[in-house]
Chains A and B, each alone.
Chain A
């Protein structure tokens, strides 16, 4: 496998690559973050005309929607798409492909080392622009920017696991240094055959990010310990989820929650008068909407082992519940029961779809 280096910033190099892919008809469209010039707002955009790439900001530290979720349905269209994905978006895509919600066949995945994304609130109100220079400086030193999502600070998988093209960005790129594309598949070699740049056979060296990894590990331990204290026992559940207004926004934006007929949205939870009366006769009072705590516990049992920790859920919560922190902490434990890492590889099967005859002998 080869590498291509360019005397450009990572962002410019990546835009050149996207332009090349479109102009040389290697792909039909590209999926990238973009900034609308008139309003300054960020969005995720599918672009088929390279003339529209001017507004693209492929490395913007913003996630308006988990791109893996959007891409998975697009990937079934049969069109060839090159997508710039953050590591957790790539893992989300792979989890969805495992659930037959997408395909990697016509997709060229371009991913990069990630320093985290800003909460949507700061991206929307413009305060992110002031914080951006500091974000870049701090992450180039291998430290964690204080302004990113909590789950980003604690994320252990900030290096893409299995992308066609890996770009070293953020923390590994010192100011003034060129950008390097590491090709990781035959598909990438084929697509970039005529792409200009200095060819080499360098391989990405993750040890250049050891400092970041250590800082992330420390932050993860801190976040998980504080969750353990806040969210323990029934009182802890009420403490954390007691504010829930039952909007189900966290599951709508979740890349893993793909069920079109979600149990919690179904008639099963469409309560009627006899239910309320039965509940009142037992407890004497009833909180509405009902079963908000059960909704979160149910989701934890249904999909936590596949949680990629992107943090969309916390970001959209109107009452500020740290959903992502709870899910990444519990998810890490449920996944480790099966030595599973969500989105690591297509070859690893979803834990609840398979079994071994000899396991969990202590149960039952």
Chain B
């Protein structure tokens, strides 16, 4: 019997926007993929690039980073720094031939429950196409 591959997507969500957006998706009874494993952070800029690397190398099939829309950061400019750091991580991945498609940055506000559900489903489908993260089985990482 073939079990359907359900990806594991480690999701760092900012307390003020994306996590609240995810809450809204829940209270609105929106259906979205069970692949999302949410971790609440105070701000998307709290996420050091190493958090993303750790999730990736430990075998997460996808890593989602959610923050407030640019200009709407609760701490005014945190997400602008997040965006630069994320661009760097993506570039490092691409320069080393790693699958940068397993990383995703998304701006989801507290009122965007439907957007959260949509992003969760879309990213899950993208990851399904990539398949299981080979790092999950590698004991050397």
Contacts and interface: CB of A to CB of B under 8 A. Distances in A.
A333 B139 contact: no
B95 A355 contact: no
A231 B53 contact: no
Contacts of A302: 49-50
Given A298-B49, A330-B92, A363 B139 contact: no
Interface residues of B: mostly helix, strand, loop or mixed?
helix
Contacts of A355: 77, 80-81, 83-84
A337 B139 CA distance: 33
A139 interface: no
Contacts of B84: 338, 351-352, 355, 360
B88 interface: yes
B65 to A, nearest CB: 9
B1 interface: no
A236 B97 CA distance: 8
A297 interface: yes
Interface in B55-85: 57-59, 67, 70-71, 77, 80-81, 83-85
B96 A363 contact: no
B70 A364 contact: yes
Interface in B111-141: 134-141
Nearest to B66: A364
Contacts of B140: 238, 242, 287, 293
Contact of A263 (B50, B70, B141): B50
A356 B70 CA distance: 11
A305 B88 contact: yes
Contact of A294 (B50, B80, B97): B50
Given A242-B140, A282-B59, A294-B57, A234 B83 contact: no
A334 B97 contact: no
B50 A283 contact: no
A81 to B, nearest CB: 34
A173 to B, nearest CB: 37
Contact of B88 (A237, A242, A293, A352): A352
Contacts of A329: 95
Interface string A245-263: 0000000000000000001
A351 B138 CA distance: 33
Contact of A334 (B59, B91, B98): B91
A300 B92 contact: yes
A330 B105 contact: no
A352 B83 CA distance: 10
A233 interface: yes
A232 B97 contact: yes
A176 interface: no
Contacts of A231: 96-97
25 contacts: A228-B97, A231-B96, A233-B98, A236-B96, A236-B97, A238-B138, A242-B140, A291-B57, A298-B49, A301-B88, A301-B89, A302-B49, A302-B50, A304-B88, A304-B92, A330-B95, A333-B94, A334-B95, A337-B88, A351-B88, A352-B81, A363-B105, A364-B67, A364-B70, A364-B105
Interface of A: 228, 231-234, 236-238, 242, 263, 282-287, 291, 293-294, 297-298, 300-302, 304-305, 326, 329-330, 333-334, 337-338, 351-352, 355-357, 359-360, 363-364
Given A291-B57, A298-B50, A337-B88, 8 more contacts: A233-B98, A237-B98, A263-B48, A287-B140, A293-B141, A297-B96, A298-B53, A359-B83
